Amino acid sequence: MATAVVPKVFKNFINGEWVESRSGRAFENRNPANHNELIGLFPAGTPEDVDLAVEAAREALKSWRQVPAPKRAEILFRAAELLVRRKEELARDMTREMGKILAETRGDVQEAIDMTYYMAGEGRRQFGQTTPSELPNKFCMTVREPVGVCGLITPWNFPMAIPSWKIMPALILGNTVVFKPATDTPLSAYHLVQILQEAGVPRGVVNLVTGSGSQVGTPLMTHKDVQLISFTGSTEVGRKVSEACAPEFKHCHLEMGGKNIILVMEDANLDLAVDGAIWGGFGTTGQRCTAASRVGVHKKVYKEFLEKFVERAKKLKVGDGLDPTTEMGPCVNESQLRTVMEYVEIGKNEGARLVAGGHRLEHGAYAKGWFHEPTIFADCDPKMRICQEEIFGPVVSVIPVDNFDHAIEVANGVPYGLSSSIYTRDLQKAFRAMRALETGIVYVNAPTIGAETHLPFGGIKHTGNGHREASVAALDFYSEWKTIYVDYSDRLQRAQIDTGSFGALKE
Ligand code: UN1
């Protein structure tokens, strides 16, 4: 068992200083694998802390936006190097505060490293367009401008990767940041901000305020001096964020729920599909917005797939993510575990057949953590709540499908549209699925998780609101295009009027 760790008192980061919250209060951060272990005390932020952070970010914007982008990039390159150097320690702390296994927290830090290097590279690639004008002696071009102060609200399931998806593009484009991390993972947020400070980010450019949604999140998203909000979390909260941003027309990016599916066709490599369903469904304890919480299986291979899938799920080793032999960690907190348990009851009451797991693990080594068995429901009707609603836990619903068209109909028959996958060896089916699946991300012969940082990330329907994170796509959200016309003719030239049309020239 982990030994007791002396609790550490952490601070907010405002205007280049580590400061206490105006509330003078703190909240606890505990290890979900062993809730006796207090990881630290973090400031319970208030609207006043948010005001101070926004004011610092507003002030810092004046000079930060003038720093040449390749110079801003140098700071990001340094931050990436520090992340590389400290990867192991950062991964261990992340496992302690949110539970996922070390291999995955290393992956989370790696995703932040990749994103930081990628966006640092964008410091020398902020290309616009140049084009001839329709008028003589006139020149046209476009340049990217920062949007302003960015409020970044992030979830606990990717405590370093997701903040990096937002902070790095914001910074390389000359914006300043107020960062509000999830209350379950403030330690990883602290590490990331501390690394940015060490890398040389000037005072006020990045500010960290920890605390609740009502005390920190809402004041941030309604603040008159914040121009942009990026939020990753539930669809329910996302709708509120969208409404809060509407009156002042803030740039608003939402990355919300998912109910992703793996489709297994009759010609699939079944062992490969089982590998994918295990990793997609139970990786991160099912707590990814990209998690494969549904599997649609062709009736011809249904029985065989289900047997193999259940056998593998039952063998998964659940435990403390710091133990290298653990394959699945705990749920992040008690309330998430309760949600999982509620959905197991819902599934049973709806008549789905429970074929693996279904119980909380609470004895022996599990007694002090929020553990749940990997759980599979079979013979599900696609309209059941367990097939429609995001559970965010280790529960997978298996749905029999009659044929390809039925599989696509089931896949698309949910309110969400983040990620989907098809296992098939038939090229025609694969390409038809790529076109027909209504999701922002489609995988062929791979599970629904595992997006890479240089490609756009995001979803459609109730998953997103039309923006994408990561890749060059992120640059469009964190910048405004400015279109510039330079007239060096030394006379008044009137667009559309002095040019006329081809027909007019002939007259
Ligand atoms: C999330 O689940 O919120 O594609 C993000 C993936 C990861 C990111 C997931 N790279 O699964």
Which atom of ligand 1 is nearest to 419's Cα? 4
Q: Calculate how far, in angstroms, residue 489's C-alpha sits from the geometric centre of ligand 1.
A: 53
Q: What are the Cα distances from residue 113, in Å, to 190, 195, 283, 306? A: 16, 12, 21, 38
Q: Whose CA is nearest to atom 11 of ligand 1?
A: 449
Q: How many whole angstroms separate alpha carbon 305 and alpha carbon 78?
A: 47
Q: Calculate how far, in angstroms, residue 357's C-alpha sits from the geometric centre of ligand 1.
A: 24
335 and 395 in a single domain? The answer is yes
Which atom of ligand 1 is nearest to 283's Cα? 11
203 and 282 in a single domain? The answer is no
pLDDT of residue 19: 97
pLDDT of residue 6: 53
pLDDT of residue 507: 44
Pocket, ligand 1, Cβ cutoff 6 A: 111, 157-158, 288-290, 449-451
Q: How many whole angstroms separate alpha carbon 316 and alpha carbon 160?
A: 26
**Does residue 112 lie in a domain region?**
yes
The dihedral region occupied by 471, where left means phi > 0, alpha psi between -120 and 50, and beta the remainder, is left
339 and 358 in a single domain? The answer is yes
- Cβ of 224: how many Cβ atoms within 10 Å? 9
209 and 278 in a single domain? The answer is no
Residues whose CB falls within 8 Å of the CB of residue 272, separated by 6 or more in sequence, listed in order: 423, 445
Query: Where does 357-404 show beta strands of DSSP type E?
Result: 360-361, 371-372, 375-378, 395-401
**Does residue 456 lie in a domain region?**
no
CA dihedral (494, 497, 500, 505) in degrees, to 10, reads -90
118 and 235 in a single domain? The answer is yes
Q: Whose CA is nearest to atom 3 of ligand 1?
A: 289
With vertex at residue 170, the alpha carbon angle to CA 168 and CA 175, rounded to the nearest 5 degrees, is 135
Q: Calculate how far, in angstroms, residue 441's C-alpha sits from the geometric centre of ligand 1.
A: 11
333-387 pLDDT, tens digit each: 999 999 999 999 999 999 999 999 999 999 999 999 999 999 999 999 999 999 9
CATH number at residue 423: 3.40.309.10
Provide the annotated active-site residues. Answer: 255, 289
- Cβ of 311: how many Cβ atoms within 10 Å? 11
49-71 pLDDT, tens digit each: 999 999 999 999 999 999 999 99
CATH number at residue 36: 3.40.605.10
Q: How many whole angstroms separate alpha carbon 92 and alpha carbon 38?
A: 15
Tell me what the mean pLDDT of segment 114-128 comes to: 98
189 and 292 in a single domain? The answer is no
Which atom of ligand 1 is nearest to 449's Cα? 11
Which atom of ligand 1 is nearest to 441's Cα? 4
Q: How many whole angstroms separate alpha carbon 290 and alpha carbon 158?
A: 12
- Number of domains forming the structure of the chain: 2
Contact in structure between 201 and 123 (CB atoms under 8 Å): no
- Of 226, 171, 175, 180, nearest to 207 (Cα)? 180
Q: How many whole angstroms separate alpha carbon 393 and alpha carbon 293?
A: 9
156-165 pLDDT, tens digit each: 999 999 999 9
319 and 235 in a single domain? The answer is no
Q: Calculate how far, in angstroms, residue 190's C-alpha sits from the geometric centre of ligand 1.
A: 21
Q: Calculate how far, in angstroms, residue 65's C-alpha sits from the geometric centre of ligand 1.
A: 30
313 and 252 in a single domain? The answer is no
With vertex at residue 386, the alpha carbon angle to CA 380 and CA 389, rounded to the nearest 5 degrees, is 140
Pocket test for ligand 1, best of 160, 230, 262, 288 (most atoms within 8 A of CB): 288
**Does residue 492 lie in a domain region?**
no
**Does residue 502 lie in a domain region?**
no
66-106 pLDDT, tens digit each: 999 999 999 999 999 999 999 999 999 999 999 999 999 99
Structural domain including 475 reads: 12-256+464-483
CA 71 to chain centre: 27
Would the pLDDT of 169 be above 50? yes
User: pTM for this one?
Assistant: 0.97
Q: How many whole angstroms separate alpha carbon 62 and alpha carbon 145?
A: 12
Pocket test for ligand 1, best of 115, 262, 289 (most atoms within 8 A of CB): 289
